[in-house]
Amino acid sequence: MQLLDHDMIKNRLLKLIDETPHQETITDDRDPSTKWGSHISRCDWNHNNKLDRLWYKLFYPNFDLSVKKLMKESNYDAPLDVEDVWFQQYFDNDSHGWHVHRSQFTGVYYLEFPRGSAQTEIVSPFSNKKKKINVKEGDIIIFPSLWIHRATHNKNKRKTIISFNFNLDITKCAENNYGGISHFN
């Protein structure tokens, strides 16, 4: 799924992100033998729930409409409670090692994704197999937060993503989609 009006807001969003205070080079090399520690060049995770960030104000309306549409099409027609939103920028050889998130759902918006950029890999909890997610710039992916995933080593120009965590009021989802039934007898 593409973010609503990605092409219209991309350049303004990148400019605002470039002007945003951020953490420089987040590194986590706890297990160097795996060569899958994290190294992220720019990130604003430390402001993940601040709603006054200029880039966030531009991004959120399009994000909200896009995600609500996708969730409704997936029979998850329920109020969205976004807990965290932050950007990450990957430069040459940056990566984000295997990890999970909090909340019910997590996702990635591929704001700047030049050809050949590092892909997201997810481990299926059903088969325990890795799968590379094929995306293009402007795409949003959403998956359960506890699915193990990573960003492989970036061997390209700068890649910019916006990550997010959110919950749905599943009781409202059940009421909306299953005739008011929110429990089983």
Which pLDDT tens digit goes with each residue over 104-140? 999 999 999 998 898 999 998 889 999 999 999 999 9
Residues in the chain: 185
**What's the CATH number where 15 sits?**
2.60.120.620
Residue 156 near residue 127, CB atoms below 8 Å: no
Q: Which of 22-36, 83-97, 145-159, 164-178 has the lowest mean pLDDT?
A: 22-36
Higher pLDDT, 25 or 21: 21
Instruction: Please determine, for residue 34, whether its predicted confidence score (pLDDT) is greater than 60.
Output: no
Task: Encode pLDDT of 67-97 as tens digits.
Answer: 989 888 888 878 889 999 999 999 988 888 8
Structure tokens at 13: 């969003």
Look at 13-17, 25-29, 89-93, 180-184 and tell me which has the smallest mean pLDDT.
180-184
Q: Is residue 1 part of a domain?
A: no
**Residue 32 counted as domain residue:** no
Radius of gyration of the chain (CA): 17
Residue 151, domain member (yes or no): yes
Q: How many independent structural domains does the chain possess?
A: 1
- Please check whether residue 184 lies inside any domain of the structure: no
Assess if residue 33 is contained within a domain: no
CA angle 45, 26, 138 (to 5 degrees): 55
59, 53, 45, 61: which is closest to 11 by C-alpha?
A: 59
- Domain residues for the domain of 19 are 6-27+38-177
